[in-house]
Amino acid sequence: EDQVTQSPEALRLQEGESSSLNCSYTVSGLRGLFWYRQDPGKGPEFLFTLYSAGEEKEKERLKATLTKKESFLHITAPKPEDSATYLCAVQGGTSYGKLTFGQGTILTVHP
């Protein structure tokens, strides 16, 4: 069974204070690891897909990296508008189309 654990559960940062969110996973044959952002009252918004260890992707202040056991979402010089819940999900080789989500990290960036 695929499993995803995210840490920390909540993270408070000052504006400009860089940090990282962690996503640890166990999966049989990773087909993809996905990062989403979710704002209150909204559905998850797709950010990145990572397919293999060593891969990195960037978007504005966000950078996602992947190893064989975990993924990190690095946030550089965050702004208050980066405040949201960040969700990580994996798709395993035996679960065609099915995503297993972690519980998420609630990020709050104070001005």
Partner 1 sequence: DAGVIQSPRHEVTEMGQEVTLRCKPISGHNSLFWYRQTMMRGLELLIYFNNNVPIDDSGMPEDRFSAKMPNASFSTLKIQPSEPRDSAVYFCASSFSGGNQPQHFGDGTRLSIL
The identity of residue 21, as a single letter, is L
**Residue found by looking up tokens 């504006």 in the block:** 15
Question: CA–CA distance from 92 to each of 46, 63, 74 (Å)?
Answer: 18, 23, 24
Q: Give CA angle at 65 (94, 38), nearest 5°.
A: 75
Query: 74, 88, 95: which is closest to 30 by C-alpha?
Result: 95
Q: Is 54 in the site for partner 1 (CB under 8 A)?
A: no
Q: Is 68 in the site for partner 1 (CB under 8 A)?
A: no
Cβ count near 100 (within 10 Å):
17
Residue choice 1, 43, 68, 111 for contact with partner 1 (CB under 8 A): 43
Window contacting partner 1 (CB under 8 A); options: 11-19, 20-28, 60-68, 93-101: 93-101
Window contacting partner 1 (CB under 8 A); options: 8-16, 36-44, 60-68, 74-82: 36-44
Window contacting partner 1 (CB under 8 A); options: 8-16, 19-27, 58-66, 99-107: 99-107
**What number of residues does the chain have?**
111
Q: Is 46 in the site for partner 1 (CB under 8 A)?
A: yes
Binding site for partner 1 (CB under 8 A): 31-32, 34, 36, 41-46, 49, 51, 87, 89, 91, 96-104
